Structure 1
């Protein structure tokens, strides 16, 4: 055993407690990996040598222990790299990434293990295993095949090398996006330059500048700052500068052209994925990726997306024409540019509905939204959520909570890290810290990370959220509930583990519905000064504007999904067509807004190049069909109908990956999903 190391102290499954974040240093990472990888290999060999009569108890269960030991070392490292990135931490993380990939590939290709799992599946007493145990065995056998276990030695070695290189490239891609985001700023000192911006955005920009000893207002490419500037700043040429900096991040264009360029990395990633799929005799990477999804073929996904595009594109065209007409008639703008869209869209929204997103912000203080969200969960599922004090975290802004059921049992715990800050990856996500497991009669309580990048408190006020940020918070908490409320006692299919990627967004998108209902809005809203609930007049305006430009938003998501699917199915990275040309083709097919030639959206499309959504971005729309239809059952029975809430808890949230997603959906809804609720919710039904 090496010198005392906080990562190794936390590593043993069954060890109580939480990651010792305050004690973890970059220099702990390599020694912890050295030990855990070597010891896991030794333990795996010992398990295989101990018997030839393999069973769940003497092999599959102990292999879950080894998997969790590694996760307990690497999980906190990966999380810290995302939320408090630094040069030493990044260097240690990057050194570990290919080692983790190499180990994972080694496990996936171990012929001895593969044979042992086959032997378990062939046992006379296999039928006596629980459904969860059998599902883990089935998934593991499938993953051995997908991991190259059946390949001849030369192809197996190449497949392993590819996985190792891909992990390094994904980390590099993500770092380039973070560095490019942080490398640009807009500091303004003339009040004329910030005309049109609301007080909340100005206060945030002033606080950002003061923090660095600068005068005036500092705007950045982090989401709260960028979105506010593009939506409200009157100075068109400054919006153009901001837009260009944002859409050229990590590319060969824009103010930092070539400095953090992901161009070559993207092509290399696609090329390696294609090669890996070919080694396993799949036509393309998308077909390989779909082996673990609800959707089974590339044509099925493309037909799904094209069908939605046919329904949404006419509405998107109408949205755009209406915006152009408005800008021309009311603001004398003959040609609407990409940096004008958010600005004039907000003006049009105010004109049509006498309503601005900024009007909502005072009614959604963090101090009402977070407790209100917990109350929504209590009414739906009978669960109580309370803060826990004194828990060690990675930043003073982080909060910690636990979930108890009506019997007093702790069902889950979670960290909440809400605000944007330097050295923190952009976006919002849920990740697992600990998964539920039963070992020696004791249940390990699942723990989640909920991470967002919202506006922070300013001038002594609580953080005031936009309604869109409230939606995002509910979305991520839906993922968290899926992870934490599982009743499955085996790691491989507990919570979100083992859930098909195109079904994993169901619980998250489902939760967003409670951001729109009057009954739930009364719980999550309250003016930060007076406590007044969201006024009825404002609520009606918000609801009337709910599907404002929904056609444009819909086709934008379809553009991303089609680009992803085509990139991983029919694109040739060795051919003459560039990634940009492929994206242009997709836009020609479905988009109504064509961005300027310098736009390099793909260079910061982390979801598919660094975030696990490769050939899977369609999942958002696929799961949206499921979530809209699931919510329609509440529309029929009442949005806080506790019986329906308990049914969703029982059939969806508690089941993890134990059964196929369609089976679980049918168990809850009584039938297969219908697309009609999604079209109705999106204002496209007509």
Structure 2
């Protein structure tokens, strides 16, 4: 059964989700209020007719009598969301007023815990709605999101700017050391107080009104940005109608492109799209340089085509709004405001890290360009190497240097076998066991569901996996939750329901889905996030699971990636899908030798996006940006980005920062990788499946969530601070 959650957490997570958070983490926690608010009174406050059949039969207004309290996806219809949101918002307002206007003296229980365990319906609705708008959206859900987003923004402001509520929290904060709180309770109180202050509670009335206006506009623009990226990605296609257009393409890809063409109404032809499972194999394999350029251009110009889906002006306006908000709150820039709550603390520390990595990365990237131009010259190519050539010639050099062919590797990495490799690793490290269920509710036929149990057979949680690319799903890969782990006021331990969403190519015909090495690594990565959610062991929902700073949340997932390259793990799952042959040791050796290949490109394209993010969000009020493309070019020219590499995300489709939760935070991936590389060193030193090390990793990292300072938790695990040298070594940027 789903029980209780937090008003503050529910509202904040809804707003993050409304901005299309694309990270592999989430900040939501499910709740169930024990308040006996009648349906009639809440609907009456909203002007809703409770006798209406659609409202009366709304699944969100009922207890879910499903296995493990999972959402009854088969019963939930699009028309149920809007009335559910309206009632949920009304309930939250009632609950907040009850806490804020409580005549009793404020206590931790009647103020902090009361807010933490309110907001049942809102949490219930947002967990389903925003998971679906990311993974299985449609025009109706998109329209509801546009309508509800500003309402949630207004609700968040109403909570943060409630003077009576802030007085109660402030009174408790002032005497926090006298309350006899546990460490997690102390952190919850401190975080609650800071949340109000950072939400504008100390502003004057005029400033509060201005903040409301800025928040509402930011929400609207973020939603529009995300919709534009999805539309641009789905709309672009390259239709091939001649056999010669298929030069260099493997048969499996030709078959998949023919299927895409059929689905898009181009019978007898082949279609290439800007979805990664289509774009990347084409850029790698196609020997038609002219067509590679078209596909590359289609991808990198998304949102920058001066059409109805153009995002240039939206990016400018979002950056300006955020600068105004930061100024209103007394900060120099949006980056200063954001980083104060991250483990990095400030932009100077981020810049210091980037300054350590960038010179080595760009130097290596230039060497890689020279090597590829040399290959072109030897082949008699009469042209200068360009950005749209990179993946094609990088693959050629990899084959030549390491005798490693991606098409030879893929048969050993079927999706099913790789998933078993993930499960094997989780079992050896954490004692997790997975049993697939075929009778549990799911939101799409592609989804697979698993019971996760410990070594004693006790349920840990439910794991959902949604693997295949489709037009209703945004790009990328992520983890989220339909229910977080937490403990109710009555002491009931609520088990989590975790989902991984990816965008792998669909199987064609009788063949299984075969993954590239990078795609297989992505599955390990995202499951690292899943373990963070599944092995959570906290009390308060706003602190459990992946409720940690953005620049720490990627750390557990990056650690898990390392096991995929271990021979013992590869030997367990990397088996040829036809013959069952275990991947040859010779091929494992080649994979390991090539693991640092092309890191100049990979690091540079990522770093360029990171620097672009910081440039947008270190803008101050009065720093007028008139042309997004010109601004982007100036930033990248200044740092010396070579023309053969584009940022991993250009401004106009940089959803992480303009419609997600990573504004001024895209650096988080490489920042977290410092912890990841250093943590894996502990396993290297003690044994990759050393039980004591794995148990400490669960105790201090995976189970703790946001109950303690993450840097202190890391030191408890490792016995010291993380050393950046292991990151640079892992990328081959230093010896």
Q: TM-score range by the shorter chain?
A: over 0.9
Distance 1:14 1:68, change over 3 A: farther
Whether the aligned pair in 2 keeps the contact of 1:428 and 1:452 (CA below 8 Å) is yes
Give, in angstroms, the shift of residue 260 of structure 1: 0.9
User: How far did 1:50 drift?
Assistant: 3.1
Preserved CA contact (<8 Å) 1:486 1:656: yes
Using the alignment, how far apart are the partners of 2:145 and 2:237 within structure 1?
27
Distance 1:675 1:98 in 2: 41
- In the alignment, structure 1 residue 584 sits paired with structure 2 residue 584: no
Q: 1:35 to 1:293 in 2, by over 3 A?
A: same
The equivalent of 1:481 in structure 2 is 531
Q: Does 1:23 align with 2:75?
A: yes
Is the alpha carbon distance of 1:353 and 1:151 closer, same or farther for their aligned partners in structure 2, counting shifts above 3 Å?
same
- Are 1:101 and 2:153 counterparts? yes
Matches within 5 A, 1:462-501: 462-497=512-547, 499-501=548-550
Decide which of 578, 589, 593 is 1:540's aligned counterpart.
589
Measure how far apart 1:617 and its partner are.
0.6
Separation of aligned partners in 1, 2:660 and 2:685: 36
Matched residue SS, 1:503: helix
Residue aligned with 1:624, SS: helix
Q: Equivalent of 2:144, from 92, 97, 116? A: 92
**What is the number of residues matched between the two proteins?**
681
Contact 1:244 1:599 in 2 (8 A): no
The answer for the alignment partner of 1:181 in structure 2 is 233
Given that 1:484 and 1:495 are in contact with CA atoms closer than 8 Å, whether structure 2 keeps it comes out as yes
- Structure 1 gaps of 5+ residues are none
CA gap 1:231/1:282 in 2 versus in 1, 3 angstroms: same
Change (3 A) 1:11 1:119: farther
Which residue is equivalent to 2:330?
A: 281
Partner of 1:138: 190
1:441 aligns with 2:491: yes
**Offset, 1:599:** 11
- 3-state SS, counterpart of residue 193 of structure 1: helix
Match of 2:466?
A: 417
Q: Which residue of 1 aligns with 2:604?
A: 555
Closer/same/farther in 2, CA of residues 332 and 387 from structure 1, 3 Å limit = same
Which residue, 699, 715, 723 being the options, matches 1:666?
715
Q: Which segment drifts farther, 528-537 or 327-336? A: 327-336
Matched, 1:239 2:281: no
- State the alpha-carbon separation in 2 of the partners of residues 15 and 99 from structure 1: 32
What's the counterpart of residue 593 of structure 1? 642
CA contact (8 A) 2:323 2:620 kept: no
- Give me the whole-angstrom Cα distance separating, in 1, the residues matched to 2:663 and 2:724: 24
Q: Deviations over 1:585-624 (max 9, x none)?
A: 3322445431599999210011111111100011111111
Change over 3 Å in CA distance of 1:122–1:392 after alignment to 2: same
Q: CA deviation at 1:655?
A: 0.7
1:480 match: secondary structure: helix
Question: 1:599/1:462 Cα in 2 relative to 1: closer, same or farther (>3 Å)?
Answer: closer
Question: RMSD of aligned C-alpha atoms?
Answer: 2.2
Q: Give how far 1:85 is off.
A: 1.8
Residues 551, 669 of structure 2: 8 Å contact kept: yes
After superposing the two structures, state which structure 1 stretch, 27-36 or 137-146, moved more. Answer: 27-36
Taking a change above 3 Å as real, the CA distance of residues 274 and 228 of structure 1, as seen in their structure-2 partners, is same
Which segment is superposed worse, 285-294 or 523-532?
523-532
User: In the TM superposition, what is the alpha-carbon distance from 1:580 to its structure 2 partner?
Assistant: 2.5
Residue 356 (structure 1) aligns with: 405
Q: Which residue of 1 aligns with 2:24?
A: none
Does structure 1 conserve the Cα–Cα contact (< 8 Å) formed by 2:357 and 2:728?
A: no
Give the distance between the partners of 2:96 and 2:582, measured in 1 at CA.
58
Contact 1:287 1:569 in 2 (8 A): yes
Alpha-carbon spacing, 1:645–1:596, altered in 2? closer, same or farther (3 Å): closer
Q: Secondary structure at the match of 2:552?
A: coil
- In the other structure, the counterpart of 2:27 is none
Deviation at 1:572, TM superposition (A): 6.4
Distance 1:129 1:477 in 2: 34
Q: SS state of the match for residue 496, structure 1?
A: coil
Aligned partners of 1:552 and 1:592 also within 8 Å: no
- Separation (CA, whole Å) in 2 of partners of 1:9 and 1:502: 37
Cα–Cα, structure 1 residues 171 and 341, in superposed 2: closer, same or farther, change >3 Å?
Answer: same
Match 1:272 to one of 321, 338, 343: 321
SS in 2 for 1:218: strand
In structure 1, the partner of 2:437 is 388
Per the alignment, residue 73 of structure 1 pairs with: 125
Q: Helix, strand or coil: the match of 2:379?
A: helix
Map of 1:325-340 to 2, 5 A cutoff? 325-340=374-389
Structure 1 range deviating more: 212-221 or 559-568: 212-221
Separation of aligned partners in 2, 1:424 and 1:14: 25
Equivalent residues of 1:26, 1:88 under 8 A apart? yes
Q: Is the partner of 1:673 in helix, strand or coil?
A: coil
Please tell me whether the aligned partners of residues 606 and 647 of structure 2 are also in contact (alpha carbons under 8 angstroms). Answer: no
Q: Secondary structure of the residue that 1:411 maps to in structure 2?
A: strand
Equivalent position SS for 2:101: helix
- Counterparts of 2:575 and 2:594 in 1: how far apart (Å)? 20
| Shift of residue 5, structure 1, vs aligned partner | 4.8
Distance in 2 (alpha carbons) for counterparts of 1:262 and 1:48: 41
Change in CA separation of 1:10 and 1:277 when aligned onto 2, cut-off 3 Å: farther
Shift of the 124–99 alpha-carbon distance from structure 1 to 2, 3 Å rule, reads closer
Does 2:300 match 1:250? no
CA offsets, 1:402-430, max 9 Å, x none? Answer: 22122333222221100001221111111
Distance 2:56 2:444 in 1: 24
SS in 1 for 2:110: helix
- What's the CA shift for 1:47? 2.5
Q: Which residue of 2 aligns with 1:408?
A: 457
**Match of residue 219 from structure 1:** 272
Which residue in the other structure is 2:250 paired with? 198
Alpha carbons of structure 1 residues 5 and 150: separation in structure 2 relative to 1, 3 Å: farther
**Secondary structure of the structure 2 residue equivalent to 1:451:** strand
Asked if 2 retains the 8 angstrom alpha-carbon contact of 1:555 and 1:590, the reply is no
Which of 541, 566, 570 does residue 517 from structure 1 map onto? Answer: 566
Partner residue of 1:641?
A: 690
- Greater RCO structure (CA 8 Å; 6+ sep): 2
Aligned to 1:57: 109
Match in the other structure for 1:653: 702
Partners of 1:352 and 1:600 lie apart in 2 by 29
Give the CA deviation at 1:120. 2.8
Is the Cα contact below 8 Å between 2:319 and 2:619 reproduced in 1?
A: no
* Residue aligned with 2:689, SS: coil
Taking the TM superposition and a 5 Å limit, the aligned residue runs for 1:672-683 are 672-683=721-732
Contact 1:446–1:483 (CA under 8 A) maintained in structure 2: yes
CA distance in 2, matches of 1:393, 1:32: 20
Query: When the two structures are superposed, what TM-score results if normalisation uses the length of structure 2?
Result: 0.89
Asked if 2 retains the 8 angstrom alpha-carbon contact of 1:412 and 1:484, the reply is: yes
Deviation at residue 121 of structure 1 after TM alignment? 3.1
Q: Which residue of 2 aligns with 1:110?
A: 162
Matched, 1:631 2:684: no
- 1:618 aligns to 2:670 (yes or no): no
CA distance in 1 between counterparts of 2:274 and 2:598 reads 24
| TM-score, normalisation: structure 1 | 0.95
Structure 2: distance between partners of 1:551 and 1:597: 13
